[in-house]
Amino acid sequence: MRDKQFVILGGGISGLSAAYYLKKKIESEGRQDHILLLEEASRVGGSVHSISEKGFIFDGGPRGFLAGGRRTLQLCKDLGIWDQLEVSSDASRIRYIWKEGRLHPLPKGPLDLFTSKVISWREIKTLLGEYFRRNNASSEDESVADFITRRFSKDILDNIVELLITGIYAGDPKRLSVRSIFPKLRDLEDQYGSIIKGFLKSKKQKSTESFDPEVMAINKRKLVSFKGGMGVLVDALYNDCHSFMECNAEVQSIRFQDNNRASISYEYDGSVKTIEADHIIFTTPAYVTSNWLKSLSSELSELLNGIEYAHIHVACLAYHKKVHGYRGFGFLSPRKEKLNILGCIWNEMIFPPFAPSGSVNLTAMYGGACHPEMKGWTEDQLISQTLEDLETTMGISDPPDIVKTFFYDKGIPQYNIGHFDRINRIMEIVKKNPHVSLLGNYINGVGINDCVRNSYQFIEDLEI
Ligand SMILES: Cc1cc2nc3c(=O)[nH]c(=O)nc-3n(C[C@H](O)[C@H](O)[C@H](O)COP(=O)(O)OP(=O)(O)OC[C@H]3O[C@@H](n4cnc5c(N)ncnc54)[C@H](O)[C@@H]3O)c2cc1C
Give the domain CATH number at 293.
Answer: 3.50.50.60
Q: Could you tell me if residue 225 is inside a domain?
A: no
Task: State mean pLDDT over 392-407.
Answer: 98
Last residue of a domain, one of 376, 396, 413: 413
Domain carrying residue 321 = 52-60+64-93+309-413
Structurally, how many domains does the chain consist of? 3
What number is the average pLDDT over the span 164-178? 92
**pLDDT value at residue 143:** 96
The pTM of the full predicted model, rounded to 2 decimals, is: 0.96
Asked whether residue 176 is assigned to any structural domain, the reply reads: yes
CB-based contact 290:448 (threshold 8 Å): no
Looking at residue 32, its pLDDT comes to 96
What pLDDT was estimated at residue 134? 82
pLDDT at 1 over 80: no
Distance 215 CA to ligand 1 centre (A): 25
Q: Given the CA of residue 413, which atom of ligand 1 is nearest to it?
A: 19
At 386, which CATH number? 3.90.660.20
Over residues 236-252, mean pLDDT: 98
pLDDT band, very low/low/confident/very high, at 258 (cuts 50, 70, 90): confident
Q: Is 400 in the pocket of ligand 1 (CB under 6 A)?
A: no
Is the pLDDT at 212 greater than 70? The verdict is yes
pLDDT digits (tens, 9 = 90+) for 276-303: 999 999 999 999 999 999 999 999 999 9
Atom 9 (ligand 1) nearest CA: 62
pLDDT of residue 425: 98
| pLDDT computed for residue 183 by the predictor | 92
- Please state, in angstroms and rounded to a whole number, the distance separating the CA atoms of residues 178 and 184: 9
- In a shared domain, residues 318 and 398: yes
| Residue 288 Cβ < 6 Å to ligand 1 | yes
264 and 335 fall within a common domain: no
Percent of the chain residues past pLDDT 70, beyond the cut: 98
69 contacts 452 by C-beta, under 8 angstroms = yes
> Does some domain include residue 220?
no
> Is there a single domain that holds both residue 324 and residue 391?
yes
Report which protein residue has its CA nearest ligand 1's atom 15: 447
Q: Please indicate, yes or no, whether residues 324 and 407 belong to a single structural domain of this protein.
A: yes
Residues 409 and 314 in one domain: yes
Distance 47 CA to ligand 1 centre (A): 4
User: Over 90: is that where the pLDDT of 263 sits?
Assistant: yes
Position 145 scores a pLDDT of: 96
pLDDT greater than 70 at residue 421: yes
Domain membership of residue 103 (yes or no) is no
What pLDDT is attached to residue 113?
A: 67
| Claim to verify: residue 179 and residue 257 sit in the same structural domain | no
**Which of 66, 284, 450 to mutate for ligand 1's pocket (most ligand atoms within 8 Å of CB)?**
284
Q: Which atom of ligand 1 lies nearest, measured to the CA of 446?
A: 19
Residue range 317-352, pLDDT digits in tens:
999 999 999 999 999 999 989 999 999 999 999 999
Same domain, 166 and 196: yes
Confidence of residue 203 (pLDDT cuts 50, 70, 90): confident
Does 278 reside within a domain?
yes
Does 226 fall in a domain? no
**Which tops the pLDDT comparison, 203 or 274?**
274
* Residue 113 in domain: no
Tell whether the model's pLDDT for residue 199 goes beyond 80: yes
Residues 246 and 277 in one domain: yes
Q: How far is the CA of 442 from the centre of ligand 1 (A)?
A: 10
Beta carbon of 40 within 6 Å of any ligand 1 atom = yes
pLDDT at 7: 98
CATH code for the domain in which residue 191 is found: 1.10.3110.10
Does residue 168's CB lie within 6 angstroms of at least one atom of ligand 1? no
Residue nearest to atom 30 of ligand 1 (CA): 46
Greater pLDDT, 133 or 23: 23
- Distant-in-sequence, close-in-space partners of 30: CB < 8 Å, separation ≥ 6: none
Residues 351 and 286 in one domain: no
314 Cβ below 6 A of ligand 1: yes
With a 6 Å cutoff on the Cβ, whether 61 touches ligand 1 is: yes
285 lines ligand 1 (CB under 6 A): yes
* Residue 68: inside a domain: yes
Q: What is the pLDDT of residue 167?
A: 84
Residues 404 and 316 in one domain: yes
Same domain, 393 and 407: yes
| Confidence bin at 110 (pLDDT 50/70/90) | low
pLDDT of res. 111: 66
Residues 259 and 355 in one domain: no
